[in-house]
Amino acid sequence: MKIAVAGTGYVGLVTGVCLAEMGHDVVCVDIDKEKVRKMTSGQSPIYEPGLEELMQKNRERLTFTTDYQNAYRNAKVIFIGVGTPEKKDGSANLKYVYEVAGQIADSVEQDSLVVIKSTVPIGTNDKVERLLKERARAGLHMEVASNPEFLSQGTAVKDTLHASRIVIGVESPQAEKALRDVYRNFDRPLVVTDRRSAEMIKYASNDFLALKVSYINEIANVCDVIGANVDDVVTGMGLDPRIGNRFLRPGIGYGGSCFPKDTKALHWLASFHDYELKTVKAAIEVNENQKIKLIKKARQYYEDFNGLKAAVLGLTFKPGTDDLREAPSLSNIPILLEDGMDIRAWDPIGMDSFRRLYPDGITYCESIEEALNDTDICFIFTEWPEITGFHLSGYAERMRTPIILDGRNCYRLEDAEKAPVLYDSIGRRVVGKYKK
């Protein structure tokens, strides 16, 4: 099947590449000429494991262009996978979705199904269909379907090719048939519903996961106060099949392109209709406070940060991606710099992106060891394998004052007790032989 995909960010590019992997002829559209040139040469513009290999493998079925008119003209199915960034009031910015919809309407020359892959507020599919029917050439049948994505950065290819479910929201048997043809080789559970329900499934799923993250962080904070061990609490909870253990890992909050944006968007949408989503509102508030949990801990050890040297390990919002959106590092490092700390930062993937935001005032290091040298305190913001595999004795050997504040609980307490360090994590007792 001839398929066009609008947008080559995480959603659009991964969708297009995976559809080509499954045998479709796919053209991906983007406005950035340099980005298109790079993708045409087989290079991925984003860091995503396995993506570049599939791009190169499927070159015969996968093309990239800035010529949207030609791309949309004869496509039977057109996916919209552009960004829907958060606006200042928390609502989703649909500017790019409507721009692409207008381009599609002006370009198509045959009956087409437009599939919205982007995360959009409930009712957006209806509005896009009205726009298409108003602007498209007379006599053409234009229909819209919802097909929300459920990929995670760092595992996006796997999440697409081996999805837990494929959700399609349609209003006609013809649209359902077309999408069944698109996904005929995926062999995954298919949920068929109406468009508004499909849109809601996306928000409800992401917001529930965000609720789990914020809930366990609240429990971890109480564990800090009463002296309980959140690791044991999570084990006891997670063995209950009604709860499960996924997304029950305590830390310093969620980040990325989905959870922060989607919780705020659904909360805004509910408020717009005079309904308050109290649970989602609480999750948002908990997450914002959790991001600076390590700074609050640091003030227990140093009243004044001025002149101190701090190692920062991990800049991206999670391992396996170079994405900095809503990363805890972006909430913490500006405060530390403002308070006079000398920052030595390390991240295996995200340093170039972070350097563009903060070119001055931070020493960017090529290794964990370099970042730790002669420092007074260490902040761990991202649980990269290089960090979890780094021996605790290495901190004591290189730091001037081996105080480790671990926002991702990378180490076992039993191991920390054996090392000459002070180790302070989330929801667990402070351990270590070093005493200030």
Got the DSSP string for 44-100?
-SS--TTHHHHHHHTTTTEEEES-HHHHHHT-SEEEE----PBPTTS-B--HHHHHH
Share of the chain above pLDDT 90, in %: 96
Give the pLDDT confidence of 146-189 residue by residue, as tens digits. Answer: 999 999 988 999 999 999 999 999 999 999 999 999 999 999 99
| 298, 327: one domain | yes
Q: What is the dihedral of CA 387, 390, 392, 393, to 10 degrees?
A: -150
Give the CATH number, domain containing residue 66: 3.40.50.720
**Residue 196 is which amino acid?**
R
Q: What is the mean pLDDT of residues 136-144?
A: 93
Beta bridge partners of 143: 113
436 pLDDT higher than 60: no
The tokens for 169 are 């929201």
Give the pLDDT confidence of 48-94 residue by residue, as tens digits. Answer: 999 999 999 999 999 999 999 999 998 999 999 999 999 989 999 99
List alpha helices for 323-392, DSSP H: 328-338, 351-357, 368-372, 385-388
Q: Cα–Cα distance between 82 and 98 in angstroms, integer? A: 10
Tell me if 197 is assigned to some domain: no
Q: Cα–Cα distance between 162 and 181 in angstroms, integer? A: 17
Residue 257 has a pLDDT of 84
Give the pLDDT confidence of 205-261 residue by residue, as tens digits. Answer: 999 999 999 999 999 999 999 999 999 999 999 999 999 999 999 999 999 888 999
Instruction: Look up tokens 């992401």; give the residue.
Output: 206
| 161, 33: one domain | yes
Q: Which of 228, 260, 290 is the last residue of a domain?
A: 290
434 pLDDT higher than 60: no
Q: Which of 272, 290, 308 is the last residue of a domain?
A: 290
| 62, 95: one domain | yes
Give the pLDDT confidence of 11-54 residue by residue, as tens digits. Answer: 999 999 999 999 999 999 999 999 999 999 999 999 999 999 99
Q: What is the pTM of this model?
A: 0.92
Tell me if residue 240 falls in helix, strand or coil: coil
Backbone angles phi, psi at 317, to 5 degrees: -75, -20
**Residue 311 is which amino acid?**
A
Residue 95 has a pLDDT of 96
The domain tally of the chain equals 3
Q: Cα–Cα distance between 198 and 83 in angstroms, integer? A: 18
Expressed as residue numbers, the domain containing 355 is: 293-424
Tell me if 144 is assigned to some domain: yes
| Element (DSSP H or E) covering residue 300 | none
Give the pLDDT confidence of 360-387 residue by residue, as tens digits. Answer: 989 999 999 999 999 999 999 999 999 9
Tell me if 120 is assigned to some domain: yes
276 pLDDT higher than 60: yes
Question: Which residues are marked as active site?
Answer: 258
Tell me if 363 is assigned to some domain: yes
Give the CATH number, domain containing residue 246: 1.10.1040.10
Task: Report which DSSP code applies to 346.
Answer: E
Tell me if 100 is assigned to some domain: yes
Tell me if 364 is assigned to some domain: yes
Residue 36 has a pLDDT of 97
Asked if residue 40 lies in contact with residue 58, where contact means CB atoms within 8 angstroms, the answer is no
Tell me if 436 is assigned to some domain: no
433 pLDDT higher than 90: no
| 162, 134: one domain | yes
Tell me if 325 is assigned to some domain: yes
Q: What is the mean pLDDT of residues 192-197?
A: 98
Residue 435 has a pLDDT of 53
Residue 351 has a pLDDT of 96
Q: Give the residue among 234, 227, 270 at the shortest CA–CA distance from 251.
A: 234
Asked if residue 71 lies in contact with residue 33, where contact means CB atoms within 8 angstroms, the answer is no
| 302, 279: one domain | no
Task: Report which DSSP code applies to 374.
Answer: T
List alpha helices for 344-392, DSSP H: 351-357, 368-372, 385-388
Give the pLDDT confidence of 333-349 residue by residue, as tens digits. Answer: 999 999 999 999 999 99
| 172, 37: one domain | yes
| 282, 315: one domain | no
